[in-house]
Structure 1
Amino acid sequence: MLALVVKQLLRSQPNSSTTRGLLRRVQYDCRRAIATTSEIATKTPPTIVRRRSKTANGERSVGDEIDQQYTLSWSGATPRTVLIIKKANDKQVDTALVRISQWLNQAYPQINVVLEPQVYQQFHHLLPSVRTIAPGSIGEYTRVVDFVVTLGGDGTFLHVSSLFHSQVPPIIPFSMGTLGFLLPFNVADFQSQLQKVIEGTATLLPRTRLTYSKRTFDGSVDKQGPVNITNEACIHRGTYPHLTTISCYLNDHLLTTSVGDGIIVGTPTGSTAYSLSAGGPIVHPLVSSMIVAPVCPRSLSFRPLMLPSNSVVKLQVHQESRGRATAYIDGRDCGELLQGEYIEIRQSPHPLMCVNREDLAAGWALDINQLLKFNRTFSYPHESLFGDDDPEGQD
């Protein structure tokens, strides 16, 4: 059993009327969801969903692994503070934010609704009950937030990771963006889904995060410090016209030296992002691993790799590289790397705890087929997923 325990007391902020009265978040437990053999048979085969199961005589089956999904339960009290993160400049998202905030205030008046400072300035006249934190006080989110609601696309979901440098509260994402591969819930169902979270009956999926640190020639850590990675870290030649030469080390052992546009180190969550476009594999979120994928390498024999999640990967701009390189974290420019400088990437001890469908395997298979059009043919547009003709698509 995994227990994520946090302190209960909150010191009020005397210098900010918008944060005064926020209560410290309550304790919550994430317990592994244990399924019996009969439950597995009626849902999905045990080879698809990694659930800890028991045979008829009570013994564990050969090959059983610990289920990496968790059930959420609040320790002795309901949550007190929810942070709502919204996509910018979208009228439909704005409407959803107002509806959800008003419903929470009516159905659960004891719960504080917190918005980011810039969003608070836009909506506090319409929603007088909402609160915010002082600009620049990003550490307050970790201190007061019990769970997070996101309204937008995958980019909005990724933004949450940048707000929590250590432990991340449960996140319930609602799809209101372009793709929404990471967002299992429709915003039309917000009442029923939020009730599950507040009442402590939701299922959680921990999504692996990595940490990135930039190091100078002598190995000292750059002043920027460690940065969390949700999708991928990438060293890329950027705007330089020449290919860049990057040495890739695995646990301090030289793996390879690549000449090309760059190298990606990604998570299972990021396997459907930039890494996928670079030819990397699609990795199930329950597979604890790291992905190393080259970006347009000169050598055709440099193929994508999957490494154990406890690996430490170092990407160093070679001393003889013709050009410099730029480090990107989840699409954000994190600065230039000179010859001899490098970044070090390892697994973070703080995953993203995401509220997810109860049947993860079915939902994941549905997403890669409907959203990514997995293995769809271009020759037969009316062919169904199972190879049968689609009568609705024919003339």
Structure 2
Amino acid sequence: MELKQIIIAYKAGDTQSKSWAETYARALEKRGAHVLMGPSGVKDNPYPVFLSSVSSQIDLALVLGGDGSALAAARHLAPEGALILAVNVGGHLGFLTEPFELFQDTEAVIDRLESDVYAIQRRMMLQAQVLEGGRIKPEPMSDRFFCLNEMSVKPASIDRMPTSILEMEVDGEVVDQFQGDGLLVATPTGSTCYTASANGPIVHPGMEAMVVTPICPLSLSSRPLVLPPGSVVNVWPLGEQEPLTKLWTDGALGTTIWPGQRVSVSMSKHLAKFIILREDHSFYTTLREKLWWAGTRVHYDNEHRNGNH
């Protein structure tokens, strides 16, 4: 990899993350790279400035923080085709990040990047847009939003906890109506996040699929659905007199859905591309360690069960 144009995003408000960002910026600049650096957080979005400031292709996005930082990077950088190295510096679970231990030898990490000693994991993303009008030529009423985890359609209000009635179409056919707290349309990557909390299925990130999961539905017959990646999911809020329902992308507010409008969700043509430094990278190890499955509680030295092998 040529390291000419680099962007570095660190977790806003985290001193350790900022310190390591500065360390890497200095090391990369010594090797002739042009580096743009800034904080990423709930109230800090550096990516529009990054993208408007670069005149050439982004060779690498170094993202220091937790899963939230990695998700924000993917939403903004996947359409640019940028490679993302996300490292768990100041984060919590770290489903999408490389461990901090592999990151501390600055020169060795940069040598690996320049020598292409890493793997690239490509993850499916979704796109969504608010539409209005007929089914043949609907009029777009919002920008196109991207997500790596999930699109959620759910109401929000300052002074109460509203529920909603949402009708779901798949490829033009009404499938179900959900009364409850909302609806999630997730990627396989997002199946271990909000979708898992809503009792949806866990889907291997190597698959291409869309997972639709109702959030706390009032009907016990409402079940999660796993759909093929070419599906188009339309979600219609029903019976609303005021614009309470919102579109959320990876937990960040996208836009308001006004009465009479719908959200159309489909697979994005863009893939999030993450650099993997771990030689023992495994989705199943991640599940055991991050979700505290049995493999993290019971250890056998010979990696077998109780047998003497």
TM range (shorter): 0.7 to 0.9
Structure 2 CA distance, aligned partners of 1:93 and 1:234?
A: 29
**Cα offset, 1:93, TM superposition:** 1.1
Structure 2 segments unaligned to the other structure (5+ residues): 41-45, 303-309
1:173 equivalent in structure 2? 86
The partner residue of 2:77 within 157, 164, 167 is: 164
Closer, same or farther: CA 95–243 of 1 in aligned 2, 3 Å = closer
**Cα offset, 1:337, TM superposition:** 1.9
1:290 equivalent in structure 2? 210
Q: Percent identity?
A: 24
Structure 2 CA distance, aligned partners of 1:190 and 1:268?
A: 32
Q: Please tell me the residue identity of whatever aligns with 1:284.
A: H
Structure 1 length-normalised TM = 0.66
Q: Please tell me the residue identity of whatever aligns with 1:192.
A: A
Structure 1 CA distance, aligned partners of 2:98 and 2:121?
A: 11
Q: What is the SS of the residue equivalent to 1:297?
A: coil
> Residues 349-392 of structure 1, C-alpha deviation per residue, up to 9 Å, x if partnerless?
111111125657x522221111111258xxxxx95157x9xxxx
Matches within 5 A, 1:20-99: 74=1, 78-99=2-23
Q: Are the equivalent residues in 2 in contact too, given 1:97–1:151 (CA < 8 A)?
A: yes
2:235 equivalent in structure 1? 315
Q: CA RMSD for the aligned pairs?
A: 2.9
**Cα offset, 1:197, TM superposition:** 2.2
The partner residue of 1:214 within 115, 125, 130 is: 130
Confirm or deny that 1:147 pairs with 2:60. Answer: yes
Structure 2 CA distance, aligned partners of 1:82 and 1:332?
A: 25
Confirm or deny that 1:356 pairs with 2:270. Answer: no
**Cα offset, 1:140, TM superposition:** 4.5
> Residues 184-234 of structure 1, C-alpha deviation per residue, up to 9 Å, x if partnerless?
232325543332222223210101111110112453101x32111111111
Q: Please tell me the residue identity of whatever aligns with 2:127.
A: T
Structure 2 CA distance, aligned partners of 1:135 and 1:348?
A: 20
Structure 1 CA distance, aligned partners of 2:108 and 2:209?
A: 33
Closer, same or farther: CA 314–156 of 1 in aligned 2, 3 Å = same
**Cα offset, 1:243, TM superposition:** 2.7
**Cα offset, 1:273, TM superposition:** 1.4
Q: Are the equivalent residues in 2 in contact too, given 1:260–1:297 (CA < 8 A)?
A: yes
1:28 equivalent in structure 2? none
Structure 1 CA distance, aligned partners of 2:227 and 2:47?
A: 41
Structure 2 CA distance, aligned partners of 1:299 and 1:167?
A: 42
Q: For this pair of structures, how many residues does the alignment match? A: 289
Confirm or deny that 1:204 pairs with 2:120. Answer: yes
Confirm or deny that 1:299 pairs with 2:219. Answer: yes
The partner residue of 2:96 within 182, 205, 212 is: 182
The partner residue of 1:111 within 8, 21, 33 is: 33
Matches within 5 A, 1:219-234: 219-222=138-141, 224-234=142-152
Q: Are the equivalent residues in 1 in contact too, given 2:145–2:254 (CA < 8 A)?
A: no
Structure 1 CA distance, aligned partners of 2:194 and 2:79?
A: 25
**Cα offset, 1:323, TM superposition:** 8.1
Q: What is the SS of the residue equivalent to 1:193?
A: helix
Q: Are the equivalent residues in 2 in contact too, given 1:311–1:346 (CA < 8 A)?
A: yes
